[in-house]
Amino acid sequence: MRLNPTETDVLLIIDVQNDFCPGGSLAVDGGDDVVPVINRLQDHFDNIVLTQDWHPTDHTSFASGHAKKKPFESVTVAYGDQTLWPDHCIQGTPGADFHPDLNRDQAQLTIRKGFRAAVDSYSAFFENDRTTPTGLTGYLRERGIDRVFLTGLATDVCVRFSAMDARNHGFDTVLILDGCRGLDEKTVNEALTAMKEAGVRVIESFAVTGLAG
């Protein structure tokens, strides 16, 4: 069945940045493969929002700032467990830039997240303390949006958290699977199960564009 987005739908493009694509410091395997899919999708949406990881050099999520800790280990911070990552998406660096082939001309808003040194931010809606909003919910409500289509990186981290928060805020939520890539097959499968259980619909881009691949 074809889906035809209307003026009450938004395409939410999560963190399609150089550091998350091949050659980046926190590369997602095949991360750049989402770019042509997302570019095709944009022609079918009136409303498009981008998110951008935007970290200071001393961000708490960087393993480099924790003695004797390595990337993908965890520490306890004020808001709970925090996974440590390689330094990535540092403000003003090429790694924080959007992928050069990503079409951004049609986007009306870019949400920068993770710019507070003491708190990470996976979701497009909330930082990881779960109390600090990004402002996206209010923006979408003011625009009359009631359905969110998600694409981007990574399926098992920022896309997952964004989709779950979209559902928690009452938005009809659709994940476009071939417009996403994840870090790990196991955690991607876990994320997909959790999202589906929360009421997130999972589709392929063909359902919107009518184009395969």
Q: Which two tokens stand for residue 40?
A: 């095709």
Residue 39 φ/ψ, nearest 5 degrees = -60, -40
Q: Which two tokens stand for residue 111?
A: 């949400």
Are 36 and 73 spatial neighbours (Cβ–Cβ below 8 Å)?
no
Q: First vs last Cα of the chain: how many Å apart?
A: 17
Kindly list the catalytic residues: 15, 113, 158
Beta-carbon-side half-sphere exposure of residue 82 (alpha carbons within 13 Å): 27
Nearest to 119 by CA among 80, 64, 158: 80
Using CA atoms, how far apart are residues 24 and 87, in angstroms rounded to an integer? 10
Indicate the residue type of 94.
Answer: P
CB atoms within 10 A of CB 3: 17
Are 79 and 119 spatial neighbours (Cβ–Cβ below 8 Å)?
yes
